[in-house]
Amino acid sequence: MLTRIDHIGIACHDLDATVEFYRATYGFEVFHTEVNEEQGVREAMLKINDTSDGGASYLQLLEPTREDSAVGKWLAKNGEGVHHIAFGTADVDADAADIRGKGVRVLYEEPRRGSMGSRITFLHPKDCHGVLTELVTSAAVESPEH
C-alpha cells in the first residue's frame, strides 16, 4: 500500500545552483547527496518533513552525469523541471506486482537501488496520465529479505 509522497524529482542542469536556489528561497537544506552511476545522475535530497510512517518527504534534485542517461535525455528534450513523483511503500515488490496486475507497465523486472539505499521501480508515464511515477521502499523500512 502506498503510504506517502516520498519525493518529487526535479531535473536540473546545475545541481549546485539549483540547491542554492531552494536553500535561499525556501530554506531547504541538503539532507543527502550521492552519485548514482547506474542511473547516470548526481543528486541532492532536500528533506521537507518527516512522515507518520517513519519516512520523510523530499525534493530530489537530479543533474545528469552523462547525456545518454534517462535524466540527461529527458532534460535535453524537456528542459529543467519536474521529472517524476515518487510514492513511498513498505514493500515495493508487492505494490509493483499489484499495479502491474492492473495493466500498468512497470519499467524494471526487479527493483533497483535508489537514493540512500532504497529499493525503487518506475511506472510507465503513458500508463499514469503522463506522469513518470516511482515506487520507493526506504532502506529504513525495508524488510530484511530484500
Catalytic residue, from 13, 38, 84, 129: name it. Answer: 84
Q: Is 134 among the residues known to form the active site?
A: yes
Cα gap 88→8, rounded to integer Å: 11
Catalytic residue, from 38, 39, 43, 129: name it. Answer: 43
Could you give the strand order of the β-sheet that contains 41-50, starting from the edge strand earlier in sequence?
A: 30-36, 41-50, 56-64, 2-11, 81-89, 133-137, 119-123, 112-113
Q: Is 67 among the residues known to form the active site?
A: no
Region of 72 (left: φ > 0; alpha: ψ -120 to 50; beta: rest) is: alpha
Cα gap 96→89, rounded to integer Å: 10
Catalytic residue, from 7, 39, 63, 83: name it. Answer: 7
Q: Is 20 among the residues known to form the active site?
A: no
Catalytic residue, from 13, 67, 134, 142: name it. Answer: 134
Q: Is 60 among the residues known to form the active site?
A: yes
Cα four-point dihedral sign 64, 76, 118, 106: negative
Catalytic residue, from 39, 60, 63, 83: name it. Answer: 60
Cα gap 136→15, rounded to integer Å: 22
Q: Is 84 among the residues known to form the active site?
A: yes
Which are the catalytic amino acids?
Answer: 7, 43, 60, 84, 134
